[in-house]
Amino acid sequence: MDKFMEDPAIAAQLLEAHPDYRVIRRILPRASFYEGGGQTLSRGVVIDTETTGINPDKDAIIELGMVLFEYDHQTGRAYRVLESFDQLEDPGFPVPPESTAVHGITDEMVAGQRIDDASVAAFLEGVTLVVAHNSKFDRVFLEKRLPIFESLPWGCSLAQVDWSGEGIGSAKLDYIAYRYGFFYEAHRAEGDCFALLEILQQPLPKSGELVLSAILSSLALKSYQIYATGSPFEAKDILKARGYRWDGDKKCWHLTLTGDDAIKAEVAWLKSSIYGGRKARVEIEVHNCMTRFSNRAGNRAIREI
């Protein structure tokens, strides 16, 4: 028993060898993942924000965490971890108790604090990829507070990885970490960043592809938001079942797709299944990695089908 207490790794090895037990390990910040072999490497940054709430129109960022790393664009392998960043910011109003209950950040912690814009800009110099877990949330908040994030390509480990298809039943970051045998102190920005970077370097359970490689494969693809303008009222249940969502401003159903083949197939489906083969007009909005996940409009066009 004494040797187990002195070296927990021995106990962990014994438990892992037994089919009735599973061992999970704390994620610790790394200095590197792979040794470089002289190839040209790019700079990426993993980011996470903590906020006062989920509405970017009235809520604010109170913590920004970032981890800067080198990666191979061809393989998705991360090499050196170059630097980390974590700063708090006073939102100018009390932090709601329900938000503090999630991330533990109090009014006292943020009082008088301000994220330094110049430090953020210097940290992001030379970066060719930003990754967050739910970029739709973080990008909108960050572009409102720090417009420099508008000029960078974004990927998303939530939206651009088929976790369900890979056999992972939940896309929550702490659950994904658990499935890979890790745990961490969740819901503080810098810690979440190191956890996400660790996950980006794991092979997907079925395809074997690195998580970061899967995101990079999606980076160059265009995203299409198609609006089924003028669709018959009686088609609403069919559209909803296919994943369309109602846009209250445009008064029509819409769906987001990735890739040229997907939008071609969807146009054909709409024509036959919704418009009954009749001529119709749909609106299509095109995004790439520079506008994807932001609230900024992409290129829009009306198309006759």
SS (H, E, C) 198-247: HHHCCECCCCCCEHHHHHHHHHCCCEEEEEECCCCHHHHHHHHHCCCEEE
> In the prediction, which pLDDT does 3 show?
56
Among candidate residues 69, 32, 26, 29, the one with its CA nearest the CA of residue 190: 29
Tell me phi and psi for residue 259, to 5 degrees: 100, 145
**CATH 3.30.70 in the chain, residue ranges:** 223-304
Sign of CA dihedral 90, 69, 174, 241: positive
> In the prediction, which pLDDT does 81 show?
97
Sheet holding 78-88, edge to edge: 78-88, 61-71, 42-51, 127-132, 154-156
> In the prediction, which pLDDT does 9 show?
76
CA–CA dist 223, 256 (Å, integer): 7
In angstroms, how far is CA 264 from the centroid of its own chain? 26
Instruction: Give average pLDDT by consecutive 10-residue segment, the chain, 305 residues.
Output: 64 79 88 88 97 97 98 96 97 97 95 98 98 97 98 97 97 95 86 96 98 96 95 96 94 94 96 95 96 93 94
12-219, what's its fold?
Nucleotidyltransferase; domain 5 (3.30.420)
**CATH 3.30.420.10 in the chain, residue ranges:** 12-219
223-304, what's its fold?
Alpha-Beta Plaits (3.30.70)
Where do the H-state alpha helices sit in the chain?
2-6, 8-16, 97-103, 107-110, 117-123, 135-145, 173-179, 189-200, 211-219, 236-241, 260-269
pTM value is 0.88
Pair of tokens at residue 154: 């974004």
